[in-house]
Amino acid sequence: MDWGLRNRLSRILNPQDGKGVMLAVDHGYFLGPTEKLEDPKKTIKPLLIYADSLMLTRGILRTCVESNANIPIVLRVSGGTSILGEDLSKEAITTSIEEAIKLNASCLAMSIFVGSKYEHQTLSNLSKLIDEGEKYGIPVLAVTAVGKEMARDARYLALSCRIAAELGAHLVKTYYCENFEKVVEGCPVPVIIAGGKKLPEKDALNLTFNAIRDGASGVDMGRNIWQSDHPIEMIRAVRAIVHDKLTVEESMNTFFLNKDMRSNELETLKTR
Ligand code: 5RP
């Protein structure tokens, strides 16, 4: 692995502990204006300082993130489908490597759909993207997407993660599941987890804790952060588990403490 690629990867996963908190805001690429991400600029801005990296498409990067933002960018470069379309797995590469370089991307991200109708297309796109990224020292995150009819179990997720790693992905994103340690064991590159649908805060922190305990290198989390009524407190609590090894109870305490402090601050501001 060349120096540039290792350097970029070290901006995604902190070399001190090998862990990272990636804030995912790419949902609109097939879902449109997702709840609480209708105005991405407003959602992203207050959370940026707590994230290690930011995952998004070029359109949202250009329009909703200040160009002087000091945050490594994980650029989603696959898409071309929508929830209304024929088949979500029919993704193409939507952003060129030249464009990714111009946008100063630290990592490229694309979805693979193992077991779907377009499995071959997405896997060969992944291989090509890795070849392109490696020419310029840019790592690739493979997102193991799951179709409605596919089981999110360790057997299936381990299959998807291992295939992504075999094709050369530098980092893999998947879902937490029972026997998650088997998924991690079978994957020679770091595995991070998506948060999935919005859960009560404690459940999302539990998911984060279990994933880290079972070998995940971090999270690529979206809805469980910005769909919370307290997104700042939530991302801070997630960070506390990922980087500071807090338990779920301890991180819930920081969540409530930060929430109370913020509401006191807001009250003080109102009375001024
Ligand atoms: C969508 C994605 C999302 O970035 C990923 O699912 C993480 O977001 P969430 O925590 O909301 O699931 O890749 O395809």
| pLDDT tens track for 217-231 | 999 999 999 999 999
Active site residue 202: no
Decide: helix, strand or coil at residue 165: helix
Q: Is 76 in the pocket of ligand 1 (CB under 6 A)?
A: no
- Angle at alpha carbon of residue 227, lines to 223 and 232, rounded to 5°: 100
Site to probe by mutation for ligand 1, drawn from 94, 220, 227 as the one with most ligand atoms within 8 Å of Cβ, is 220
The chain-wide mean pLDDT, for the chain, equals 95
* Structural domain containing residue 229: 3-271
pLDDT digits (tens, 9 = 90+) for 172-208: 999 999 999 999 999 999 999 999 999 999 999 999 9
pLDDT digits (tens, 9 = 90+) for 111-153: 999 999 999 999 999 999 999 999 999 999 999 998 767 788 9
Q: Are 126 and 151 in contact (CB under 8 A)?
A: no
* Ligand 1 atom with minimal separation from the 220 CA: 7
Q: Which stretch of DSSP H or E encloses residue 74? A: strand 73-76
- Can you give the CATH number for the domain in which 231 is found? 3.20.20.70
pLDDT digits (tens, 9 = 90+) for 55-108: 999 999 999 999 999 999 999 999 999 999 989 999 999 999 999 999 999 999
Residue nearest to atom 14 of ligand 1 (CA): 27
Residue nearest to atom 8 of ligand 1 (CA): 222
Any residues with CB less than 8 A from the CB of 91 and at least 6 apart, and which? 78, 79, 80, 81, 110, 111, 113, 118, 121, 122, 125
Decide: helix, strand or coil at residue 91: coil
> What is the count of structural domains for the chain?
1
Confidence of residue 264 (pLDDT cuts 50, 70, 90): confident
Catalytic residue among 128, 135, 173, 198: 173
Q: Is 28 in the pocket of ligand 1 (CB under 6 A)?
A: no
Question: What distance in angstroms lies between residue 265's CA and the mean position of ligand 1's atoms?
Answer: 32
